[in-house]
A and B are shown apart, each in its own frame.
Chain A
Amino acid sequence: AQSVTQPDIHITVSEGASLELRCNYSYGATPYLFWYVQSPGQGLQLLLKYFSGDTLVQGIKGFEAEFKRSQSSFNLRKPSVHWSDAAEYFCAVGPTGGGNKLTFGTGTQLKVEL
């Protein structure tokens, strides 16, 4: 069965500092990986996705993520955090080749200090 682990429940960073949110997955084949962001009172917005090709993927709002098969990881990064990035972030894994059923991690709540 597929699973996703986000080991950090809460992270606090200062505005302008770099950010890395960790995501580890378990999946028996080549996974299809996502990062979503949820702002208060909002639904989930897709930040980026990976299913093949270049292991470093660029997303919206200046975010990027790197797929590392050997480590079963798909960590999200941003070089310089803005106060508006404060939100909850979810990593998700799904099967390639269709189906679209996703398994979500438990989320990481990001707080940005001014």
Chain B
Amino acid sequence: DADVTQTPRNRITKTGKRIMLECSQTKGHDRMYWYRQDPGLGLRLIYYSFDVKDINKGEISDGYSVSRQAQAKFSLSLESAIPNQTALYFCATSDPRSNQPQHFGDGTRLSIL
């Protein structure tokens, strides 16, 4: 089983719909992250959480919200989806000790029509 699991893997939806992307991990890491990937732009940080009671905005948080339901679960919501939120979304986790790398899920491909 994957250490970082994202569901769904693919989603097509319509403008204005509410969407939730889910991420769960079995690595026991406290820190979790949501990124979006767009061609030619690399990965950009949407939100991150350093523990269950800690939520922080990244560089592109507008139009998104998150929920850290437990140490192992971190969900990303699009309250009212718009076409320019079409992208590949990644969840990642990391150990809070210094200098530890992030571990990524396989991504969710989201298309908004």
Q: Give the complex CA separation of A90 and B101 in angstroms.
A: 13
Contact (Cβ within 8 A) B96 A98 = yes
Q: Which of B11-19, B35-43, B60-68, B72-80 contacts A (4 or more CB under 8 A)?
A: B35-43
Q: Are B42 and A97 in contact (CB under 8 A)?
A: no
Q: Which residue of B lies closest to A4 (CB)?
A: B42
Looking at chain A's contact residues, the main secondary structure is loop
Is the CB of A56 closer than 8 A to any CB of chain B? Answer: no
**Residue pair B94, A43 in contact (C-beta under 8 Å):** no
State whether A43 and B107 are in contact (beta carbons under 8 Å apart), knowing that A51-B99, A98-B96, A101-B48 are contacts in the complex.
yes
Chain A nearest CB, measured from B108 CB (Å): 10
Assembled-state Cα–Cα distance A49/B98 (Å): 13
Complex CA gap A94/B18 in Å reads 33
B contact residues around A44 at 8 Å (CB): 43, 90, 92, 104
Enumerate 5 A-B pairs (CB-CB under 8 Å) in ascending A order. A45-B104, A51-B99, A98-B97, A100-B100, A107-B42
